[in-house]
Structure 1
């Protein structure tokens, strides 16, 4: 009887949109303004970097939307890569995300939210670790309930995080007195890369939208809702990021933004609402990051669940509770790995997640090529075509833009952080013996 319990298809388009928006918009939009501007060298180039990053991300989303519509399975990137390139490649895509990236990125987000919370409450920074653990356990607890609960939490936190974004856009547009374009930054970043590295920084701020595909099996109509949520959510994110950037540039001189660094957006809000505004923004960012945390905890265990169903991870990870129909064992396992990382690996969690991002972009690139493979299969009659299926517009230009963006990320990382790129590949290849172990067990 237990093997008949399946994930509940109860999430609609609003949950999907909230998942995309809430998972992407964390703290980057509030804290990356100065870094991107300083690297780009001028306000015009800085704004253009956010726009180009948004165009590449939209191209990626439109490409994956077709892949996801053709392969609407729980597991996301793992399922896509497995279907396109075989079990070994699929396992490595899932292995990296579940074992390395998931606990690292969840711990990183929770840690930063805890740091802000300690500051907000006037607590010592030594308490941040335990606040981080509380956040992770709290969000995990929400995700052990029926999936409508974390979906509702996602919608609520996403709605709240859009408020300070709207404030920054409106205040900057209508009350800012600085020329947003044409300002030159005198203190340009010395790390090199210029405009290209500025685009790279925005691409990392845009990352996370693909995690919606991990819960495709819980969408009411994944062939329809998955592409609509990805494309619609990314359009809102791009408009929000570009709007906030223009608003901040219109409210503060470029050199002041660079001088303020992480406090630039706080300065804009304080100018509008005083110290109360600054504290309100801090609270909104904390809530924003809890929403991002929820999106990660909601999605990553689904990948572990899907891999367990395929016999590639321990069987207990594929167990669903009869009452809530949730992969509680997978959620507990990912949570436990995160908490242990949070407590005992106090330095370098951000570094670990940055290294893992390089590898994820390798699999992104492979998934983007997948749209060509799937269309070729349709042409050969190996895959059924559907009239109502979402198709990537402006094909093949759109997927080529996505592939170019992915290759740019990979090339830039190799040039600027060869050791990190090499380490990430080693972490992936460690998964091969694990894959062959489980493959042998299935025979």
Structure 2
């Protein structure tokens, strides 16, 4: 009875605080804005490096888009069946319980989000510095320092004012779209001039392991297709709008990404692509002459906004985990004067700066790729599992089981095969995932903790609460 009452209270709370205000267009912009970040400006060289040829790399970009669309389609059934905040974290919690759900939460909060943010911040610094180092690569240490500066500035913005942070997000979203449209327009002009000499299957790599690693880079660029599920309770008519938003946005992004890559290859040779850490800058230098500065400026603005977006959205995931008692209580608190989620923003910034000790973007993509697709594969596995275990659950959208099975087979390919080809990076990723197990048993599963342990945790929480001047969200809501 008590459990039923608590569930009703939770539903009432959601109904009071979360209103379905988002239209289909809003849903499309959420997905498009979440996907398009730094990936398209970072990944072309990574995909080409592992495929060997231009034509196969374009196939990988197209298949990566279709792969993401299939995953998003599977999430449509899960999102309309389990309407709880937290997306795949909530689906795994409902299906496999708190232990597996915590591993997913740990992967997202400790690996995927901060590592992705480090990649985007490094991309920002490389595009800002590239005009000053036209003949060589920018120094690693300087790039990392500038990336730290980027994270620190946006951490201040997100801790200072939520409205300012959302304004930054809106403005910089337009910048990245404009940069891509300029590149695509130039590419169409180049195609019209007959520049197709680089499109071939020459030097194609036949190793299965190389092909799997190429998908890490390609899929990294499509990361974010599942973000609409995090706010499904705010979407109007989700049964209609969720699958439509997924289909339209994933198709649009796939077309934009493939056309952007085609544009790059109309002007740059594979050798030039592989030798550049800032492909769009090299492209602009070749085509735009004195106006070449426009592209690095827009890409820098794009990646700056992408860092802001990760900081802005991560607090919701921290909050969802903390509400389930699987994250520190401090992360549910907000700054008393500024009303911002300062603790979670600071935690994300600190973790991101730890990942900046590695300046190799390809290695970071392998870390985040292994962890991301392994955990999302587990979430998709919830779909056939619930069909078997709970066949009577209401399913407004019913996906043909062919699609989740196909997605799971592809997930095995992109997670298991790279273990052979890139054992160091995937090994580190696997160790980071395994580190969640002792944390879970020490802080969550272990209920009868000694008094000194509980007091120590409370003292640390109280000290940080006073230092940051933060209070619990629940208390502020009641006041």
Q: Which residue of 2 aligns with 1:428?
A: 433
- Asked whether the 8 Å contact 2:122–2:359 carries over to 1, the reply is no
- Asked whether the 8 Å contact 1:42–1:254 carries over to 2, the reply is no
Q: Is 1:407 the equivalent of 2:412?
A: yes
Of the two, which has the highest radius of gyration? 2
Q: Which residue of 2 aligns with 1:365?
A: 377
Distance, in Å, in 2 between the alignment partners of 1:42 and 1:425 is 30
| Aligned-pair CA distance for 1:224 | 5.8
Distance, in Å, in 1 between the alignment partners of 2:139 and 2:153 is 21
| Aligned-pair CA distance for 1:181 | 7.9
Distance, in Å, in 2 between the alignment partners of 1:180 and 1:302 is 48
Q: Which residue of 2 aligns with 1:97?
A: 108
Choose the corresponding residue for 2:149, options 134, 137, 153.
Answer: 134
- Asked whether the 8 Å contact 1:312–1:438 carries over to 2, the reply is yes
Choose the corresponding residue for 1:172, options 187, 197, 214.
Answer: 187
Choose the corresponding residue for 1:236, options 233, 252, 269.
Answer: 252
Q: Which residue of 2 aligns with 1:29?
A: 40
Return the TM-score normalized by structure 1: 0.82
Please show how residues 14-413 of structure 1 align to structure 2 within 5 Å. 14=25, 16-120=27-131, 127-144=142-159, 150-176=165-191, 177-179=194-196, 183-185=200-202, 193=209, 195-216=211-232, 226-249=242-265, 251-252=266-267, 254-255=269-270, 257-258=272-273, 261-262=276-277, 264-277=279-292, 279-320=293-334, 327-339=341-353, 342=356, 345=357, 351=363, 354-376=366-388, 379=391, 381=392, 383-385=393-395, 389-392=396-399, 395-413=400-418
Distance, in Å, in 1 between the alignment partners of 2:69 and 2:242 is 14
| Aligned-pair CA distance for 1:91 | 0.4
Distance, in Å, in 1 between the alignment partners of 2:122 and 2:170 is 22
Distance, in Å, in 2 between the alignment partners of 1:439 and 1:422 is 26
Alignment coverage as a number of residue pairs = 429
Distance, in Å, in 2 between the alignment partners of 1:418 and 1:289 is 29
Distance, in Å, in 2 between the alignment partners of 1:193 and 1:221 is 43
Task: Name the SS for the 2:291 alignment partner.
Answer: helix
Distance, in Å, in 2 between the alignment partners of 1:323 and 1:73 is 29
Query: 1:182 and 1:113, CA in 2 relative to 1: closer, same or farther beyond 3 A?
Result: closer
Query: 1:21 and 1:121, CA in 2 relative to 1: closer, same or farther beyond 3 A?
Result: farther
Q: Which residue of 1 aligns with 2:463?
A: none
Distance, in Å, in 2 between the alignment partners of 1:71 and 1:440 is 28
Structure 1 residue ranges without an equivalent (≥5): none
RMSD (Å), alpha carbons: 3.6
Query: 1:17 and 1:180, CA in 2 relative to 1: closer, same or farther beyond 3 A?
Result: farther
- Asked whether the 8 Å contact 1:115–1:128 carries over to 2, the reply is yes
* 1:364-401 deviation line (CA, Å, top 9, x unaligned): 1111122223444563x2x234xxx3444xx2232233
| Aligned-pair CA distance for 1:348 | 6.2
Task: Name the SS for the 1:32 alignment partner.
Answer: helix
Task: Name the SS for the 1:209 alignment partner.
Answer: coil
Q: Which residue of 2 aligns with 1:440?
A: 446
- Asked whether the 8 Å contact 2:212–2:414 carries over to 1, the reply is no
- Asked whether the 8 Å contact 1:11–1:218 carries over to 2, the reply is yes
Query: 1:10 and 1:325, CA in 2 relative to 1: closer, same or farther beyond 3 A?
Result: farther
Query: 1:440 and 1:194, CA in 2 relative to 1: closer, same or farther beyond 3 A?
Result: closer
Distance, in Å, in 1 between the alignment partners of 2:235 and 2:164 is 14
Task: Name the SS for the 1:47 alignment partner.
Answer: helix
* 1:74-104 deviation line (CA, Å, top 9, x unaligned): 2233222111211000001101221233333
- Asked whether the 8 Å contact 2:20–2:233 carries over to 1, the reply is no
| Aligned-pair CA distance for 1:114 | 2.3
Return the TM-score normalized by structure 2: 0.76
- Asked whether the 8 Å contact 1:160–1:284 carries over to 2, the reply is yes
